[in-house]
Structure formats: C-alpha cells, structure tokens
Amino acid sequence: MSAQELAHVTVLLREAVDALAVKPDGVYVDGTFGRGGHSRLILSKLGANGRLVVFDKDPQAIAVARQLAETDKRVQVVHGGFAGFQVALKELGIEAVDGALFDLGVSSPQIDDAERGFSFRYDAPLDMRMDTTRGQTAAQWLAEAGEEEIREVIRDYGEERFNSQIARAIVQQRQERPILTTGQLAQLAAQAVRTRERGQDPATRTFQAIRIFINRELEEISAVLPQAAGYLKTGGRLAVIAFHSLEDRIVKQFIRRHSRPAPLPKWVMVRESERPEPPLREIGKAQRASAAETAANPRARSAVLRVAERTAGEFVDE
C-alpha cells in the first residue's frame, strides 16, 4: 500500500458499515470505493457467499479496487460514476441488493495529490476531474464559460456571496492570459473576496463550486438515490455520508419524502391504517463524527451520515 493510501482515513467507518446491518450472505454496493476503507470492513462481515460491488470514477481508486478483487473473488469493480447504478448491476446479473453505501464528495488522496488540481494549497494544473480519463478540466471550462455561467456556478454550488466579483475577475484575467493553475485561481478569489470567514481561505467556496460542477456531483446524487432505493430488498439499508449542506439537503429531503405516506387529494377519504406504506423508513437521527474522530481527522468535522431502511411499500421513481 502506498503512502498516499496510508494517509487516507475513512470517515465514520464503523458507524456507516454498522448502519448497513450486513448479512453474511448479502449483496452490497460501495458506491464510492475511494481507498476501500468501508469496503474492507463490509467484506470482514460478509461470508463466503456474500458479494460486494464497488464503484469509483477515479482511475487510482479503481487500481486499488482491482487489486482487492484479485485477492477476494467476492468483489466486483465498476469504473464509473454511481449514477449508472442500475445499468451496471443489471449487467452483473444483480436484480436486488441488501445495502448500498455512498461516501460523497472528494477523497483525501484526491485533495492531497497536487497534480489533481483539487486544492489551493498547491500550485498545480487546474484539473479537478475525479475521472482523469474523460471530460473537461476546470481550466478548459474557465477558458470557455461565459461570465454569467461562472457566476451562477460559484453562487449555486459554492454559496459564495462574492460570486459576481470572482466571475468578473476570472473573465478579465483570461483576456490577458489563460487561467491554468490552482495558484492563479486562488489568487483571483483572494483578491475578489473582501471578507472571509474565520479560519477559511477565501478560495474555499470557489474551488468547491467548480469541483462540484465539473464532476456533476449533485446531479449524480439526485440520480442515484431513487435507483438505490428501488434496488433494495425489503429490510435493505441505504447509508449516505455527506460533507456539505448541498449534498446533505438532497439526501435528507429524499429520505424524508419517501419515509412519509404520499399525500392524497383532499376529496379522498381513507383510514390512516389503510394508507399505502411508505417505501423507506428513516433509521435514527443524522450521525456526526465524534469529537475524538474530528480531533484525529479534521476533515470529518462536516460529515453527516443518514440511514434509511426499505420497507415492503412500493417505491415509485419520481
């Protein structure tokens, strides 16, 4: 295992895997393999007939996953985003699963590898793609996007109040020379953000916004949740770890919407006991990392784990 893999600390490791209530002969999905922390713990609870399908966009993560699959035949690897959940599982001959886990956002190895361009701590090529084998880089998008589009991305995905100033600075700068590095973008953000939150770099929200946009992160979350819920067996569990409010809002609203009886027209008279059972049941309250975990791994401080269980109620994809 490389030094980079060793540096990766899986957030809410035991809490997330415990939430799945793993059955020894069950079929499970780790939708965000990363460096395999959650996957290895799931495998330790599976028996010889259990099965684990792992997804990841990142070629480096996939390389680690394939090494694991070579030594453990219970593992099957999918190189791709989890938005292709149902298609991939059907191709593997899987019609239903006992649990699905998603650890959202960017991973520590991606942030800590300067060449990936996710972090403003290093001056490196402005890439930001989770899958470096396809798609447009952040630098390419910034070279082509209009000022209004850049402003909307920074506003909507970064919740940055100085979105107009940053977008204007980007467009003005690229007229003189292309914005190709993380250092250039961080400097532009620092000059445009007039006040900063305590302890937060002025480039934080801009980098978050562009990364989310380049990788279609929120769209993928919205796409996979109904697929995963619809694929769960009765009693199967869905566990999702989110790291910022935009992700968590999507997860929370999805679980709550499908954990309540569907609203009926006012003219329909039906006893409460006769109403159709909701397809999901929310399990417990949202969990956060403990003080000890946060002290050992500061990146855990914003993590939120939400869990739902599939009922016998019919799931209707909206």
pLDDT, tens only, 196-240: 666 688 999 999 999 999 999 999 999 999 999 999 999 999 999
Tell me if 37 is assigned to a ligand binding site: yes
- All residues at 6 or more sequence positions from 54 whose CB lies less than 8 Å from its CB, including other chains: 29, 30, 33, 36, 39, 65, 75, 76, 77, 78
**126 plus 98 within the same structural domain:** no
131 is in an annotated binding site: no
Residue 110 counted as an annotated binding residue? yes
* 58 belongs to an annotated ligand binding site: no
**Of 52-56, 207-211, 269-273, 291-295, where does mean pLDDT reach its minimum?**
269-273
| Residues 229 and 291 placed together within one structural domain of the fold | yes
Q: What is the pLDDT of residues 28-39, one digit of tens each?
A: 999 999 999 999
- Which CATH number belongs to the domain containing residue 265 in this structure? 3.40.50.150
Q: Which domain holds residue 31?
A: 13-108+217-310
Whole-angstrom CA distances from 242 to 91, 218, 221 are 28, 11, 10
Report how many domains make up the chain: 2
CATH number of the domain residue 142 falls in: 1.10.150.170
Could you tell me if 159 and 193 lie in one domain? yes
Q: Are residues 160 and 295 in the same domain?
A: no
Is the pLDDT score of 93 beyond 90? Answer: yes
- Yes or no: say if 311 and 234 are a contact pair by the CB < 8 Å rule: yes
Please tell me which of 38-47, 123-132, 297-306 the model is most confident about, judged by mean pLDDT: 38-47
Alpha-carbon separation of residue 60 from 79, 110, 254 (angstroms): 10, 9, 31
Is residue 112 part of an annotated ligand binding site?
no
**Do 229 and 100 share a domain, yes or no?**
yes
103 marked ligand binding residue: yes
Q: Determine whether the annotation assigns residue 38 to a binding site.
A: yes
